[in-house]
């Protein structure tokens, strides 16, 4: 099929997340990471040769910090069809031709990887988010992947009140009893990080209350929850222990058990799922003040008491 087609076909095995609606900063960061894995798999001597074609999407300043000897990733130019000044000596000329062929392959490879990245970014978001920089005649063919991502971070990286409301709904979504608990909490952590960037505060007490309610409704962890409720409050630990998470995650096909991030700021490390709820009680005191509660928190609290 040719070098260009072969490279693009090889890269298509990498899955790039499809973003529904407005692309958030976290969505775009995830797409960038996925693209880095794909682009980094295609070898090149550009930019020190250690990170494949990642330089196509990474900011130059950041790339230099990772490249060998601080080399920049510079896009190659078209070397043309034949060496400009072939030597009269046959041996030297053959060497020049070989070197020129290597430059041609490097240029074609770069063009192929860039085309894949451009197409992948365009497919990852809905068309309106790139409409501002697209050409009526060229489409997005004149754009570099880096310029496309920079534009998306600028126009889509912020959240409006509708996005915040939707994220809160997702954060407090009921556990269905089928999804691995570790996955359920990991999703919540992702939504919570986006809310933090939008200026919302963490509410570990609320997340714990909702999770516990959902677990009770399914009956999956009834013995553990019953034992937990029988304990005095200072000695209570979250009833779904780390080992329980591992058992349930394994049954759901998961081999890892990431713990929910219920920390309250950068200086607070995420507690183990089996640690004492003294930590939760301390957060409950912080969250109990009416002045610190948002309307949606107060509404949820009143509904949960019913």
Could you give the CA distance from residue 288 to residue 144 in angstroms, rounded to a whole number?
Answer: 50
Model-wide pTM > 0.95: no
Q: What is the model's pLDDT at position 214?
A: 81
Specify whether the CB–CB gap between 129 and 156 falls below 8 A: yes
Q: How confident is the model at residue 228 (pLDDT cuts 50, 70, 90)?
A: confident
Predicted confidence (pLDDT) per residue in 64-108, tens digit? 998 878 899 999 999 999 898 888 999 999 999 999 999 999 999
Could you give the CA distance from residue 45 to residue 52 in angstroms, rounded to a whole number?
Answer: 8
Name the residue with higher pLDDT: 220 or 34. 34
Residue 293 has pLDDT above 70, yes or no: no
Mean pLDDT of the chain: 78
Domains of the chain by residue range: 3-156, 161-305
Predicted confidence (pLDDT) per residue in 179-191, tens digit? 888 888 888 887 8
The C-alpha torsion from 252 through 253 and 256 to 259, rounded to 10°, is -20
The C-alpha torsion from 211 through 212 and 214 to 220, rounded to 10°, is 120
């Amino acid at each position: 099929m040719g070098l260009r087609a072969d490279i693009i076909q090889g890269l298509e095995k990498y899955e790039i997340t499809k973003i529904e609606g407005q692309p958030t900063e976290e969505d775009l960061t995830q797409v960038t990471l996925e693209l880095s894995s794909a682009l980094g798999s295609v070898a090149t001597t550009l930019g020190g040769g250690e990170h494949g074609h990642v330089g196509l999407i990474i900011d130059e300043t950041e790339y230099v910090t990772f490249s060998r000897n601080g080399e920049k990733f510079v896009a190659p130019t078209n070397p043309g069809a034949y060496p400009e000044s072939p030597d009269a000596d046959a041996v030297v000329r053959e060497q020049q031709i070989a070197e020129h062929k290597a430059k041609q392959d490097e240029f074609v490879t770069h063009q192929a990887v860039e085309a894949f990245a451009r197409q992948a970014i365009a497919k990852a978001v809905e068309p309106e988010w790139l409409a501002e920089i697209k050409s009526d005649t060229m489409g997005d063919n004149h754009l570099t992947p880096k310029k496309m991502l920079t534009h998306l971070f600028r126009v889509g990286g912020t959240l409006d009140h509708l996005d915040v409301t939707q994220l809160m709904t997702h954060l407090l979504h009921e556990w269905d009893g089928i999804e691995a608990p570790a996955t359920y909490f990991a999703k919540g952590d992702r939504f919570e990080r986006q809310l933090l960037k939008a200026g919302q505060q963490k509410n570990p007490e609320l997340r714990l209350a909702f999770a516990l309610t959902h677990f009770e409704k399914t009956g999956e962890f009834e013995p553990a929850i019953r034992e937990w409720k029988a304990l005095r409050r200072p000695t209570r630990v979250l009833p779904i222990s780390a080992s329980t998470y591992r058992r349930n995650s394994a049954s759901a096909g998961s081999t890892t058990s990431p713990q929910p991030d219920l920390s309250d700021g950068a200086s607070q490390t995420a507690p183990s799922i089996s640690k004492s709820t003294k930590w939760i009680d301390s957060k409950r005191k912080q969250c109990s003040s009416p002045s610190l509660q948002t309307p949606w928190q107060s509404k949820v609290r009143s509904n949960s008491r019913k």
